[in-house]
Structure 1
Amino acid sequence: MLYAIAFSPWILYAVIPAVWWQWSMLAALAISVAIFVAAVARRRPAAAMIIEIGSMMFFAAGTTLALADPGTALHPYLPAVSALWVGLIAWFSLLIRNPFTLGIAKLKEPPEVWRQPLFVRTNVIITAVWAICFTAGAVLLAACAAAGAGRGLVIGVQVGHFVVPMVFTIRYVAVIRKRVARMHAEPPKPPVFSGQYHGLR
Structure 2
Amino acid sequence: MNYLKSFLPWIAFAIVSTQADWRWSGLTGLVLAGGLLLLERRRGKDWDTLFIEVSAVVFFAVLSVWSFSDPASPLRDYVGALTDLWLAATAWGSIAAKRPFTLGIAKTMVPPEIAATPVFRRVNVVITAVWAASFTLAGIAEAVLLHSAPHATVGLIIIKVLGFAVPISFTIRYPRIVRARAQKAA
- What is the rounded CA distance, in whole Å, between the counterparts of 1:63 and 1:152 in structure 2? 26
Amino acid at match of 2:81: A
Match of 1:189 in 2: none
- What is the rounded CA distance, in whole Å, between the counterparts of 1:157 and 1:13 in structure 2? 15
Single out whichever of 20-29 and 79-88 deviates more from structure 2: 20-29
CA drift at 1:67: 2.1
If the length of structure 1 is used for normalisation, what is the TM-score? 0.85
Match of 1:163 in 2: 165
- What is the rounded CA distance, in whole Å, between the counterparts of 2:47 and 2:87 in structure 1? 17
- What is the rounded CA distance, in whole Å, between the counterparts of 1:148 and 1:102 in structure 2? 38
If the length of structure 2 is used for normalisation, what is the TM-score? 0.92
Contact 1:22 1:66 in 2 (8 A): yes
Contact 1:93 1:99 in 2 (8 A): yes
Check if 1:153 corresponds to 2:175. Answer: no
The DSSP-based 3-state class of the residue aligned with 1:71 is coil
Q: Which runs of 5+ in 1 are unaligned?
A: 187-201
The DSSP-based 3-state class of the residue aligned with 2:21 is helix
Contact 1:32 1:55 in 2 (8 A): yes
Amino acid at match of 2:21: W
- What is the rounded CA distance, in whole Å, between the counterparts of 2:35 and 2:182 in structure 1? 36
Match of 1:35 in 2: 36
**Aligned 1:115-126 pairs, distance under 5 A:** 115-126=116-127
1:17-52 deviation digits (Å, cap 9, x = unpaired)? 154322221111111111101111122121111111
Q: Which runs of 5+ in 2 are unaligned?
A: none
Amino acid at match of 2:105: I
Percent sequence identity is 35
CA drift at 1:77: 1.2
Q: 1:38 to 1:19 in 2, by over 3 A?
A: closer
- What is the rounded CA distance, in whole Å, between the counterparts of 1:73 and 1:100 in structure 2? 31
**Aligned 1:20-169 pairs, distance under 5 A:** 20-149=21-150, 150-169=152-171
CA drift at 1:181: 4.6
Cα RMSD after superposing both structures: 1.6
1:69-105 deviation digits (Å, cap 9, x = unpaired)? 2222111111111111110111111111111100110
Match of 2:175 in 1: 173
Q: What count of residue pairs does the alignment treat as equivalent?
A: 184
Amino acid at match of 1:134: F
Which has more radius of gyration? 1
- What is the rounded CA distance, in whole Å, between the counterparts of 1:34 and 1:71 in structure 2? 28
- What is the rounded CA distance, in whole Å, between the counterparts of 1:176 and 1:169 in structure 2? 11
Contact 1:15 1:155 in 2 (8 A): no
1:140-192 deviation digits (Å, cap 9, x = unpaired)? 01101211331221122122211110111111122233344555xx5xxxxxx
